[in-house]
Amino acid sequence: MRILVLNPNTSAEMTELVLRVLAPMTPADVELVPATGRFGARYISSRSAGAIAGHAALDAFAERGAGCDAVYLACFGDPGLMALKEIAGVPVVGMAEAACRQAAAKGGRFSIVTGGERWGPILTEFAVALGLDGRLAAIETVAPTGGDIAADPDGSIALLAEACRRTVARDGAQAVILGGAGLAGLAARVQPHVGVPVICSVQAGFAAVLDAARNPPSKPVQGDLALPAPVPSIGLSAGLSRLLGER
């Protein structure tokens, strides 16, 4: 089984971080196929960067997705998620989508702690789109971006733990997601300092994509998320142009 681990940030170091965290969770019969965004922001921290990343995600899937049994969109906020679900003939799981659903399944309300001050409204809208806004207690952002946190994980534990405790006390969160590829693997280090479950978004998403790869849902043949009709395009990469134009 082959799973495309798609990071639409343009930071290869971020892709490598995700792969290191996933390695102990990867079954022997599963091969991880990494793909890093070919263009766009080094680390997504705004709406504009996220919009470009959605294009980069489709481009990476067109170039690297052949022969894969599932796609893991390994970027919190899931840029391009619904477009990937539409164009791919295999299951596509987003990191934020899976982490939010796991947190909601624990019962009660959950919060998200992530790096980058602009993520608050973006992730609130994302929770609404998932139909989980009634379960979302709060989005708690910290000043360093996910890229900054990835560069100094040891120096970020106290900051992240304090943010988790703050939203638990203030908002009544009964679980907290540490959201972002840059925060990969830090939940286990933050957990001893927080009195409710702390969920690693990277690990939650990977567990969900493994399940989807082994038990793939049927691809819709009509309506939303069915393969779109072929369309000619201008200015796209050769692979993405083929993906959009051929059936």
Q: Across-strand partners of 115?
A: 142
Give me the percent of the chain exceeding a pLDDT of 90. 94
pLDDT band at 86 (very low <50, low <70, confident <90, very high): very high
d(CA 38, CA 224): 28
Confidence of residue 247 (pLDDT cuts 50, 70, 90): low
Long-range contacts of 21-24 (CB under 8 A, 24+ apart): 21/184, 21/185, 21/200, 21/202, 21/203, 22/202, 22/203, 22/206
The pLDDT, as a whole number, for residue 117 is 86
Cα distance between residue 2 and residue 219, in whole Å: 18
Average pLDDT, the chain: 96
Provide the pLDDT confidence category of residue 109 given band limits of 50, 70 and 90.
very high
Q: Please check whether residue 54 is in contact with residue 80, taking contact to mean a CB–CB distance below 8 angstroms.
A: yes
Kindly report the pTM of this predicted structure.
Answer: 0.95
d(CA 111, CA 174): 8
Sheet containing 198-200: give its strands across.
Answer: 136-142, 110-115, 175-179, 198-200
Query: Residue range 154-173: average pLDDT?
Result: 97
Helix axes 201-214, 12-22, angle to 10 degrees: 70
Average pLDDT of the residues in 107-133: 94
- How many angstroms separate the CA atoms of 66 and 161, rounded? 40
Q: What is the pLDDT of residue 199?
A: 97
Reported as a single tens digit per residue, the pLDDT across 190-238 is 999 999 999 999 999 999 999 999 999 999 999 999 999 999 999 999 9
- Cβ distance 194 to 113 under 8 Å? no
